[in-house]
A and B are shown apart, each in its own frame.
Chain A
Amino acid sequence: MNVFNTILILAAAFLAVFGEAVLGAPRNLLGAQIDLLPALMVYAALSSDMVTVSLLAVAGGLWFDSLSANPLGITIVPMMAAGFPICLRRDLILRGLPFAQLVLGAAASALVPALTLLFLLNSDRQPLIGWGTLWQLIVMAAGGAVATPFLFSLFGWCGQALGYKPRIETSFRPDREIQRGRKQHVSH
């Protein structure tokens, strides 16, 4: 388990939730706020372990719900529902391909709000839904799809810039250096 990567993912989730709460431009322009947590979950599921995925689901869900009118903890299970199957089957996914990242990002970004809405409708809450919700889901899915490959690039760059560089083994070894030239004969 790479602790640095986990901390980086959680910090990004914290900032993403704060950014969503502060920046109103996507909502004013597109009619929906784009949620970056599902895209982050896809990255965590493909690049980290189940502990990181679980931590992101719990912490990200709690942070999101604390700034929202959602009941506290309702986003945790949808987040985990998006991350768990990806993490479980990640050996079968071509995770390096931007297209795969895009598709997974879109699917997760549509699944998380849809599941959250389903849970809310099953509770005594009355979320604001209508035909416009479909448009909002499309915008969120598209936004998440675009954000996922971008997050992979960003985290790759962060890993290179802030993490330890891998030690490069060279084929040169001084004890196996071939000494050229005439050998010195030692006379006994």
Chain B
Amino acid sequence: MWQALHEELEPLGLSIVTVALDLDPEKARTWIDAASPTHPSLVDSHHRIDELLGISNVPMAVWIDEMGTLVRPAEGASIQPSQLAAIEITDEMPPKMQAVLREFKQVPDTAEAYRAAIIDWASRGADSPYAMSPDEVIAASQPRSADHSRAAACFELGIHAEQRGDHEAAIIWWKQAHELFPENWTYKRQAWTIESTPDGADSDKAQEVQEVYGTSWSEAFLATGGANYTVAPNL
């Protein structure tokens, strides 16, 4: 998906750079190999771009101009309509599945408009109405509280513990990060998938087995509501 857009826009002077937020880079490899990217394809196993750029879920993106200045802050970056949102809900489905699919239909569908905005910017650069001034970019970035800063520190200490092989300590740090910054889904989904993915398997995206954290992806998604699940781009 991103590779195709990269090929389309590279002649206009725009490159895609993808960054996988994966504590274990090998989990990203399957997807990277399948995409055969010709653009830079990086791995951020410490989720550093969360704090550096304000990433809080995936997919999210920032726009950077030729001078290395942000012209759009971190925001939801879907460029294809959600297939899950398109699924027709039927009475035969389990009630929870129906509830989840109903909420998927509430996630703002910005894919077409966002894709068009990227193409406009690639063509017109600073003249594009979608390219913001530095002050606008800062103001449009998400709020950052003292708790958010503490969450980033706790999440980092969790990674440090996990990499030392102290999984129990990692869980304690990550739980703190989740409580301090509940809107950051990368902290939660990263931790949850470690619990719900069988050894050697591809990363589990459903994350329903959540005895350790006392919740699951679907429960958290339903509690948040589809309308609040992404940082929808204001275009």
Q: Do A and B bind each other?
A: no
